[in-house]
Amino acid sequence: MIALIDLRSDTLTRPTPEMLEAMIHADVGDDSRGEDPTVKKLEELAANITGKEAALFCNSGTMANIIALLTHCKRGDRVAIDPFSHIYRREKSLFKEEYFGLRAVFYETDTFRVPQNKKQAKLMCLENSIAYTGGTCISITQTNEICETAKIPIHIDGARIFNVAAHFNIPVKKLIENVDSVQFCLSKGLGAPIGSMLCGSSAFIERAKEIRKIIGGGMRQAGIIAAAGIVALQNTPQLKIDNEHTSLLARKILHNSPILHLDLETVQTNIIIAEVSNSGYMANIFAEKLKNRGLQVRAISDTKIRMVIYREITKEKIDKAAEIINQFCKEILLDRRNHHGTKKSKK
């Protein structure tokens, strides 16, 4: 049995020996009483690195986004949002009447223009990098323009914002200078086993802490996991490597196969989305066939597969993954030719 190369998600990163070591030796206390020194240290670090006054350690990115929206808004408030974003599609409870009861106002996804409805939106959400477009980035200039024209508070779902900063080669704090709050995941490319940080003004984080408690996000000796988060925040240089590996894989695939289509311009960070309808297979079958050859990818629609690169995906694995995909594409082409060949020779 060959070891699978697993490109389904960057949530598959495993804690490094350094993280495990830090977890064992973490100094802890009851975080719900504000007495865990390791959590405090992580929150200070996160606030510093994002250039915000304060930060809050949350169980997950989903929880951090929910807390953010419930801190900025109350039931019935309108939130300007991209209909394909993670917050809208995967954190639906926010917009369900029977749960949190916020209302969505969709903005133009290419211009980020909020429609001038009679009733103003209270908050605008951005996602950076944008997952459904293959990890594409919103630049500093764009972000600042959006902040200026929106004239309402901006929350960024920055699950992979450090990949964006690596792409532009700038510190994260520059990228989000004018936004009001940001959420980023410690548990994706940064490699921690658990956790996300919500960052914003001190007053915002004070209120957010209350909401976190209400929805059951208060933890006790959370320093155990925060310790891994502190190590994760030192892992940002790895994301540059991940982005480079992703670009390398995309270029290797593109040049070798007419079966599979991908737009190199969208490959900016650590995600590749490829269109496989020319293969004649549904994306889930295409993925299944790659899995039999040793490569795991995720079908994200009937026609598209997604690959995500992270620390454990070394240069050797990138080469191997490209080889598996290209070999499979060649076989499809060959089959097709043989098939045509037999049909013709019968005539």
The correct pick among 22, 39, 42, 159 for binding ligand PLP (CB under 6 A) is: 159
We find the least distance from the C-beta atom of residue 12 to ligand PLP, in angstroms, to be 12
Query: Collapsing DSSP states into helix, strand and coil, what is residue 50?
Result: helix
Q: Which two tokens stand for residue 23?
A: 């977890």
**CA-to-CA separations, 155 to 10, 104, 183, 318, in angstroms, rounded:** 23, 14, 8, 34
The correct pick among 143, 187, 235, 243 for binding ligand PLP (CB under 6 A) is: 187
Which single residue brings its beta carbon nearest to ligand PLP? 61
- Rule CB under 6 A: is residue 246 a binding residue for ligand PLP? no
Of the ranges 40-48, 58-66, 167-175, 283-291, which one interacts with ligand PLP (CB under 6 A)?
58-66
- Rule CB under 6 A: is residue 257 a binding residue for ligand PLP? no
- Rule CB under 6 A: is residue 153 a binding residue for ligand PLP? no
What is the DSSP code string of 70-116? HHH--TT-EEEE-TTSHHHHH-GGGG-TTTT--EEEEPPTTT-PPP-
Rounded Cα–Cα distance for residues 1 and 268 (Å): 34
Rounded Cα–Cα distance for residues 318 and 106 (Å): 38
Rounded Cα–Cα distance for residues 326 and 262 (Å): 13
Rounded Cα–Cα distance for residues 243 and 329 (Å): 24
- Rule CB under 6 A: is residue 39 a binding residue for ligand PLP? no
Of the ranges 26-34, 61-69, 136-144, 224-232, which one interacts with ligand PLP (CB under 6 A)?
61-69
Of the ranges 45-53, 59-67, 107-115, 133-141, which one interacts with ligand PLP (CB under 6 A)?
59-67
- Rule CB under 6 A: is residue 313 a binding residue for ligand PLP? no
Cβ proximity to ligand PLP: between 143 and 257 the closer is 143
- Rule CB under 6 A: is residue 185 a binding residue for ligand PLP? yes
- Rule CB under 6 A: is residue 157 a binding residue for ligand PLP? yes
Residue type, 252: K
The correct pick among 13, 50, 62, 279 for binding ligand PLP (CB under 6 A) is: 62
For ligand PLP, the binding residues in 119-148 under the rule CB under 6 A are 127, 131
Candidates 300, 301, 299, 239; CA nearest to 270 is 239
- Rule CB under 6 A: is residue 155 a binding residue for ligand PLP? no
196-132-326 Cα angle (round to 5): 110
In the complex, the residues that contact ligand PLP under the rule CB under 6 A are: 60-62, 65, 86, 127, 131, 157, 159, 185, 187, 196
